[in-house]
């Protein structure tokens, strides 16, 4: 009962920090180091309480130490290879420290995670789930465009419905790449892959907008990985390790 309460509080506190970090990353593309320090300071007492409540044996302690060392190394390695940014690496490192064991939450008629505890390494579950959940963004964008643009605009824009949305050409959102731009001849060019707008592109776009030639253009968001990592964290708590479940299903076929 006490361990269940510790897990519940710890999962909620970490979720709040990760959600706040994701908001900062979306707005500024920068997460201050002090956020991770505050996160550790806030949760470490719960980790200590978890050890006392769980009373792990020698092998469990060794497992906890090994998972931290492996995930710390993986986090640093992926950052060194340029797979993601510094905030993502710190989030993974901190998670491996704060979750030495996979948390399980038990309620009257419900036990979380619903499917499995993966390989027993919570930080790895969050990471693998984040990679698997990333393609979910295309579904969200498609549904958004169906509501905003309707079925009528789907013809000729199917590809764009999945990877972007239309934005006001006079007020482009931050941290977005262009799927359409105005070339030197004043012609609107459509792209299959987004490009980062430079001063020349923005100048031509503004000129075309002022002349009434362009009102809205297709853009694609440069979504920071930390958002998907936070989603992976929540999936790990509520559902489990999606990769582990997929491997299990494939092995049964």
pLDDT above 80 (res 253)? no
- Tokens linked to 177: 């790449």
Helix (H, G, I), strand (E, B) or coil at 119: coil
The per-residue pLDDT for range 89-104, each reduced to its tens digit, is 999 999 999 999 999 9
| pLDDT for 223 | 87
Report whether 165 contacts 219 (CB < 8 A): yes
| pLDDT for 1 | 83
Beta pairing partners, 1:
none
Beta pairing partners, 219:
165, 178
The per-residue pLDDT for range 231-243, each reduced to its tens digit, is 999 999 999 999 9
Q: What is the mean pLDDT of the chain?
A: 94
- Tokens linked to 172: 């482009």
Beta pairing partners, 218:
166
Average pLDDT rounded to a whole number, residues 80-95: 92
| pLDDT for 154 | 92
By C-alpha distance, which of 6, 228, 17, 11 is closest to 122?
A: 11
Which domains, from first to last, does the chain contain? 2-134+225-252 (1.20.120.1220), 136-221 (no CATH)
By C-alpha distance, which of 87, 95, 105 is closest to 35?
A: 87
Question: Whole-angstrom distance between the N-terminal and C-terminal Cα of the chain?
Answer: 39
By C-alpha distance, which of 45, 47, 39 is closest to 99?
A: 47
The per-residue pLDDT for range 102-142, each reduced to its tens digit, is 999 999 889 999 999 999 999 999 999 999 998 888 999 99
Report whether 68 contacts 98 (CB < 8 A): no
Report whether 94 contacts 36 (CB < 8 A): yes
H or E element that contains 63: helix 58-80
| pLDDT for 16 | 98
By C-alpha distance, which of 48, 125, 127 is closest to 88?
A: 127
Average pLDDT rounded to a whole number, residues 6-17: 98
Average pLDDT rounded to a whole number, residues 192-215: 91
pLDDT above 90 (res 43)? yes
Share of the chain above pLDDT 70, in %: 100
Which residues have CB under 8 Å from 73's CB, separation 6+? none
Report whether 236 contacts 113 (CB < 8 A): yes
CA distance 217 to 170: 10
């Amino acid at each position: 009962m006490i361990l269940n309460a510790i897990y519940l509080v710890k999962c909620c506190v970490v979720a709040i920090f990760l959600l706040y970090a994701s908001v900062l990353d979306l707005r500024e593309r920068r997460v201050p180091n002090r956020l991770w320090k505050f996160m550790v300071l806030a949760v470490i007492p719960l980790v200590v309480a978890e050890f006392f409540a769980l009373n792990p044996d020698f092998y469990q302690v060794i497992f906890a130490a090994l998972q931290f060392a492996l995930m710390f190394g993986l986090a640093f390695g992926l950052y060194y290879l340029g797979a993601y940014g510094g905030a993502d690496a710190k989030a993974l490192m901190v998670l491996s420290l704060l979750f030495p064991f996979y948390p399980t939450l038990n309620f009257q008629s419900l036990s979380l995670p619903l499917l499995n505890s993966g390989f027993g390494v919570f930080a790895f579950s969050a990471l693998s789930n984040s990679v698997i959940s990333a393609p979910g963004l295309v579904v969200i964008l498609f549904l958004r465009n169906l509501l905003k643009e309707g079925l009528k605009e789907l013809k000729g824009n199917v590809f764009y419905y999945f990877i972007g949305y239309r934005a006001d050409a006079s007020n482009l959102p931050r941290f977005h790449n262009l799927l359409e731009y105005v070339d030197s001849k004043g012609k609107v060019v459509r792209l299959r892959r987004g490009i980062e707008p430079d001063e020349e592109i923005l100048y031509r776009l503004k000129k075309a907008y002022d002349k009434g030639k362009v009102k809205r253009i297709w853009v694609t968001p440069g979504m920071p990985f930390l958002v998907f990592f936070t989603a992976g964290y929540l999936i790990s708590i509520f559902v489990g390790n999606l990769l582990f479940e997929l491997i299990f299903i494939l092995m049964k076929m």
